[in-house]
Amino acid sequence: MEMARTKAGLNLLKTTGLGRLYEGDCLDVMRSVESGSVDLIFADPPFNLGKTYASGIDDAMDGARYLDWCESWLSECVRLLRDGGSLFLWNLPKWNLAMGGYLMRHLTFRHSIAVDFKCGMPVRGRLYPAHYSLLYFVKGPRPAIFHPDRLPLQCCRHCGGEVHDYGGKKSVMNPSGVSLSDVWTDISPVRHAKFKNREANALPLKLLDRVLSMGTDPGSVVLDPFGGSGTTYVAAELTGRRWIGMDLHAADAARRLSDMAVDRKLMSNLTNEKNTLFTDRDARKREKAGMIWPTEKALPNPN
């Protein structure tokens, strides 16, 4: 893959109309970016679990050293965010507790989001770890942009009937869907080979779409210091956000950005399945079973 050297001595691996992808250390790249110029940062660093990365990093540091390193790039994140800009930090609850303490001193806490995400195996003598932590902070007192997606009602996959009982509240529910809470149970790990862009660690596009939709508008600037397979950059590309990307080993992200056909299709499905009370799929099942919601319009006859 062609690599260009910038005036600042950085390796620029790929550019698109909206973004640029660097191969290099996140601290070097972030130090080259202007203060207060970024609307949203999403960071999914290595979790210090002793994993092997293509970049050959040390993922088994002493805990204090790992947190010192995290503070060095987090302080860059704080510098880069514009007033009202958002930081989303994805990690194990254990590390996010400590990093949250640091961020509390520099940014304004918004939410600690628990994402139901069962990736590991039960551990003897411990509770089964079934969620990841997504911390959400903003620079300054309040977010400049905040429009969380609304979610469809959870329906039975067989008959389309709603899973929870909404009793007499049905007719007053927002037809655009249910309010997003700080517990996300509808994000599944990337498992199907068709959606795998690297061996491990790729986050689902749905997670990044939700984060970017909440804290940015088309044209906003998004930065992710740990690109991996490039999920953040692809979500930004497909939704018209500008982006700055980097990784010590950026070839996976560059390859994915060169052919986004699968991601484009997935993003179109994601867009159709939010900000509505019923997904098209559920609406069809419900119509077939004669279930009519008080505010629901019958679907047009396909013939």
Q: Which residues inside 63-102 make contact with ligand SAM, applying CB under 6 A?
A: none
DSSP class per residue in 7-68? TTS-EEEEE-SSEEEEES-HHHHHHTSPTT-EEEEEE----SS----TT-------HHHHHH
> Measured from the CB of residue 46, what is the shortest distance to ligand SAM in angstroms?
5
> Measured from the CB of residue 57, what is the shortest distance to ligand SAM in angstroms?
5
Name which of 173 and 260 has its Cβ closer to ligand SAM.
260
Q: Decide if 251 contacts 1 (C-beta within 8 A).
A: yes
- Residues in binding contact with ligand SAM, number by CB under 6 A: 19
SS3 80: helix
> Measured from the CB of residue 90, what is the shortest distance to ligand SAM in angstroms?
7
Does the protein bind ligand SAM through residue 245 (CB under 6 A)?
no
In angstroms, the Cα distances linking 99 to 72, 75, 153, 270 are: 11, 11, 34, 31
Q: Which helix (H) or strand (E) holds 243?
A: strand 242-247
Q: Decide if 234 contacts 219 (C-beta within 8 A).
A: no
Name which of 99 and 153 has its Cβ closer to ligand SAM.
99
Name which of 103 and 203 has its Cβ closer to ligand SAM.
203
Stretch that binds ligand SAM, among 13-21, 126-134, 179-187, 225-233 (CB under 6 A): 225-233
Q: Which two tokens stand for residue 274?
A: 């939010």
> Measured from the CB of residue 234, what is the shortest distance to ligand SAM in angstroms?
9
Among 81, 211, 214, 246, the residue binding ligand SAM under the rule CB under 6 A is 246
Does the protein bind ligand SAM through residue 201 (CB under 6 A)?
yes
> Measured from the CB of residue 174, what is the shortest distance to ligand SAM in angstroms?
31
Binding mask 38-67 for ligand SAM (x = CB under 6 A): ------xxx------x-x-x----------
Residue nearest ligand SAM, CB atom distance: 228
Alpha-carbon distance 251 to 77, whole Å? 24
Helix ranges, the chain (H): 26-31, 63-80, 93-104, 205-215, 231-238, 251-258, 261-272, 280-288
**The residue count for the chain:** 303
* C-alpha dihedral sign at 229, 208, 234, 274: positive
Q: Which residues inside 2-31 make contact with ligand SAM, applying CB under 6 A?
A: 25-26
In angstroms, the Cα distances linking 149 to 55, 243, 271, 277 are: 35, 21, 10, 12
Stretch that binds ligand SAM, among 81-89, 93-101, 169-177, 244-252 (CB under 6 A): 244-252
Does the protein bind ligand SAM through residue 143 (CB under 6 A)?
no
Among 76, 209, 237, 247, the residue binding ligand SAM under the rule CB under 6 A is 247
> Measured from the CB of residue 58, what is the shortest distance to ligand SAM in angstroms?
9
Q: Which two tokens stand for residue 36?
A: 């207060």
Does the protein bind ligand SAM through residue 249 (CB under 6 A)?
yes
Alpha-carbon distance 82 to 138, whole Å? 9
Among 133, 229, 239, 279, the residue binding ligand SAM under the rule CB under 6 A is 229
Does the protein bind ligand SAM through residue 203 (CB under 6 A)?
yes
With a CB cutoff of 8 Å and minimum separation 6, the contacts of 266 are 195, 205
Alpha-carbon distance 220 to 167, whole Å? 41
**Residues in contact with ligand SAM by the rule CB under 6 A:** 25-26, 44-46, 53, 55, 57, 201-203, 226, 228-229, 231, 246-249
